[in-house]
Each structure stands twice: as C-alpha cells, then as structure tokens.
Amino acid sequence: MTTLSLPAPAKLNLCLHITGRRPDGYHELQTAFQFLDYSDWLHFEWSHHGSDTMSPGLPGVPDEDNLILRAARLLRHEVRQPLPGVHIVLDKQLPMGGGIGGGSSDAATTLVALNHLWKLGLNGNRLAELGLQLGADVPVFVRGFAAWAEGVGERLQPIQPPEDWFVVLHPDCEISTARIFTDPGLTRNSTPIRIAPAFEGDVTGLRNDCEETVRNLYPEVGDSLDWLSQFGPARLTGTGACIFGRFPTESRAREIWACRPSGINGFVAKGVNRSPLHTELTERT
C-alpha cells in the first residue's frame, strides 16, 4: 500500500551563462532556476524484502544507476543504521535528457521523502550537500525555491520571477549533458554578471550559452527555437533538448501549443517559485 506519493517537478533554466571551468572538468555557471507545475510522481511503499527497489525500470538505465535508488543508497550510507526497505513506483512524465532535470528531480524527491519516512531528521542543507553528490541540479530541487544559482548550481539565492505560463517543446532528440559540456566550441568565458540585491529574476537580455553548440549539433532544436521565436523570446533550458517560450496567460500558451508543428512533443505548464514537491509535502504531513 502506498505510504506517500510526491511529485518530482521539472525545472527551467531561464538563462544559463558559463563563466569558467574547474580543474575537475565541471563548469562554473550562473543560472536562474524556476520550477514548472509539471512532474514525475513517485509513490513510496514499505517493502517486505528489507531492501530498496523500484518499478518500472527506465529503458537504458540499469536500476543500480537510477538516481532514485542511488539517492536511497546515499541516505543509508549517510546514517548507517538499520532501516526498513522501501519500494518506489515511478510514474515518469518528464522527457529524459530534456534539460528539465527529471533525473535530478527524482533524486531530490527520493532524498526528501525518505528523510521523512525514515525519520532521519537531516536538515535541508545536509540533504542538498548529499544531493550535489548525485548531480549539479539536485540541490535546487531539494531546497525547493526558485533561485539564482552560481558555482556548479549549488550556491542558491531565492528569486521571484513572474509565475507565467510556458510552452515547452521537446524536439525529437535526447541530449547528453556531458556531450555539450565537453564540446570544444562551447562558450566557457562569459563575464560573470553581478545581480542587484533587488534582483527578482528578470532575465531579459540574458541567454543560454549552450544554445549555439546545441543548434550546431542538433538542427531540429534550432528549428523549434526559430518556430517558437515568432511568438516571443524562445530559449533552451539546460543543455537541451527542450526549449521554452513564456506567456502571461494560460490561454495564450495553449493557443500557441495548439498550432505547434506536427509531430513535436512537449507540454504547457505554469512556472512556480515554490517547488510542487514542497507544497505537496506540507499538505500531506
């Protein structure tokens, strides 16, 4: 029987500047994160086996590499005490390799949910530190507030961008984050910008430094960006493949979604500054 069901929402990088590369190969970024009210769902139930399991599996991802089970293992390693086994059912909605952070969000939801179910009492800072070991995008999902991020994405400052509606298009390709970050032509020397103390997340005039590389490697992403740009500024999220356009009303976003080029996937969703994970957890507990 399901004990707890929680969402793992998507994120958008409203902008993404790459300001340097660390000796370990990771890139220093400046990015504005906002969540979308569009999520995977994870259902947690106690297991009779005493070990942690999940279903269904993800195509091409062995269970032991799945960020959900890796998050559970990391927590067990952190507290080193006997804990009951958990079975996690994943209702996958977010496209993989889409730049909307599905795997990282699944990991964050697992950390937050198991910390709660196992009554571990780890605070948000510790959970975010653990999350960073799983991926650069995990901390923002653990903390759950829209954020201006620096470092590799772990130094977070709350922002309040408008909670507009987004058309998210997913051109028919899966992009490996590592592939883009290792591309010799990637811009890695953007001048760091200083945000004003009153910065709320207005990214007008800012950009995604991965866009040129992604356009070169995946012309279908460029085609989608060009199509969506007819209606307003369109941008890549993360390293792609998803792109987005922002609209002030749901009806306008749905109007544009309805006339998208045939065969292109995606969705319409509202931007939210508090993660649906945290909203749901507060309501459920």
Ligand X SMILES: Nc1ncnc2c1ncn2[C@@H]1O[C@H](COP(=O)(O)OP(=O)(O)OP(=O)(O)O)[C@@H](O)[C@H]1O
Ligand Y SMILES: C[C@](O)(CO)[C@H](O)COP(=O)(O)OP(=O)(O)OC[C@H]1O[C@@H](n2ccc(N)nc2=O)[C@H](O)[C@@H]1O
Is the Cα dihedral 32, 36, 39, 42 positive or negative? Answer: positive
Residue count (the chain): 285
Pairing of strands 27-46, 86-91: antiparallel
137 is an active site residue: yes
| 36-90-155-177 Cα dihedral, nearest 10 degrees | -90
DSSP 65-101: GSHHHHHHHHHHHHH-S----EEEEEE--SPTTSSS-
Binding residue for ligand X, selected from 7, 9, 99, 171, defined by CB under 6 A: 99
Residue 68, binding choice from ligand Y, ligand X, none, Cβ under 5 to 8 Å by partner class: ligand X
Determine the Cα–Cα distance for residues 116 and 124; give it in Å rounded to an integer: 12
* Residue 20 marked as a ligand binder: no
- The residue from 40, 106, 137, 209 that is catalytic is 137
Q: In the window 218-277, what residues touch ligand X (CB under 6 A)? A: 238-239
CA distance linking residue 52 with residue 68, whole number of Å:
10
State yes or no: residue 67 binds ligand X (CB under 6 A). Answer: yes
Binding mask 154-193 for ligand Y (x = CB under 6 A): -----------------------xx--x------------
Structure tokens at 230: 């007819």
55 annotated among ligand-binding-site residues: no
Q: Is residue 96 a contact residue for ligand Y (CB under 6 A)?
A: no
Pairwise CA distance, residues 263 & 12, whole Å: 23
Query: Catalytic site residue 119?
Result: no
Element (H, E) at 166: strand 165-170
- Using the rule CB under 6 A, is 136 a contact of ligand Y? yes
Site string for ligand X, 188-227 (x = CB under 6 A): ----------------------------------------
Q: Extract the annotated binding site for ATP.
A: 95-105
Active-site residues, by number, are 11, 137
| Binding footprint of ligand X on the chain (CB under 6 A) | 58, 61, 65-68, 96-104, 106, 137, 177, 238-239
| Binding footprint of ligand Y on the chain (CB under 6 A) | 13, 16, 25-27, 29, 31, 99, 104, 135-137, 152-153, 177-178, 181, 238-239
